[in-house]
Amino acid sequence: MAKSKQPNRSLGLETAEPALTPPTLPSEATTFTKKPKLAAGASRKKEIPEGLWTKCPKCSTMVFDKELDENLKVCTKCSHHFPIGARERINSLVETCSFEEMDASLESVDVLEFTGVASYKSKLEAYQKSTGLKDAVITGIGLIGARRVALGVMDFGFLGGSMGSVVGEKLARLIEAATHKRTPLIIISTSGGARMYEGMFSLMQMAKTCAALAYHADARLPYISVLTHPTTAGVMASYASVGDLILAEPEPVIRVHELADSSVNFVVSMPMSTP
């Protein structure tokens, strides 16, 4: 009887197969590209090009400059009134090409030879160059609708709209011309007051302008005073406060202070809202 062959059974002593060595991969396959780091201080915030948007200081809304110009420099959201230059204000008020400027060549001179951190003469030259104006007011005759009016507009950008001899003289001549031609008078004020560089000569303009306005009133002709932010000190204490009708833009700083008589020293700040 043939014996069947039994398979050999191992007792757990099998010979271990040699480990396989993984194939060597090219160095490029195991290299990971690192993400570039942002440079120190670099910002992802996009820069807003200048001349396109303006941030409203009252409501912080970004207003498109073209839209702001079309709305006469008034914020479309909160009605905040932005500062506006004298020529730009004149262009927004009178009919096109109807304004005839008066006394455009008058310039201030350094009568007292004032010296300080900078001389008065150098300040005048710097402001004339930066604003394109001879002084802080523009005067002339123009048309508003069909009505011919005498118009004086101050510019705060020229030495804070301060009133010196030239400002007072130009306004006095404007008032006299309005009286002579029997036209209504409008003066739009923005000023830090009398010009300290001219001493008492600037203070004399308060009396001169008010005297001319008295003759205008005697002729029974209207005078409208418009107060814009800010209108203070010697200007507010003289011609700006004696109008037959006084108007103001919303929330201006209107202030009178440091008058000679302490019994009438006062400070007025009048926030005004639009209707």
Report the distance separating Cα 151 and Cα 168, nearest Å.
14
Among the listed residues 273, 239, 263, the one whose alpha carbon sits nearest the alpha carbon of residue 80: 273
pLDDT number for residue 96: 86
pLDDT number for residue 213: 94
Indicate the pairing of strand 62-64 with strand 100-102. Answer: unpaired
Q: Which fold has domain 84-264?
A: 2-enoyl-CoA Hydratase; Chain A, domain 1 (3.90.226)
pLDDT number for residue 32: 56
Residues of the chain with pLDDT below 50 are 258-275
Indicate the pairing of strand 62-64 with strand 53-55. Answer: antiparallel
pLDDT number for residue 201: 86
Domain boundaries, the chain: 51-82, 84-264
pLDDT number for residue 272: 44
Exposure letters 232-247 (e unless 16+ CB within 10 A, then b) = bbbbbbbbbbebeeee
Six token digits for residue 145? 């609708």
Q: Are 228 and 204 in contact (CB under 8 A)?
A: no
pLDDT number for residue 112: 81
Report the distance separating Cα 187 and Cα 245, nearest Å.
11
pLDDT number for residue 267: 41
125, 131, 135, 141 alpha-carbon torsion, rounded to 10°? 150
Q: Are 116 and 47 in contact (CB under 8 A)?
A: no
Indicate the pairing of strand 53-55 with strand 100-102. Answer: unpaired
Tell me the DSSP string of 216-264.
HHHTT--EEEEEEEEEEHHHHTTGGG--SEEEE-SS--EE----SSGGG
pLDDT number for residue 273: 42
Provide the residue type at 111 as one letter: V
pLDDT number for residue 6: 56
Report the distance separating Cα 111 and Cα 193, nearest Å.
19
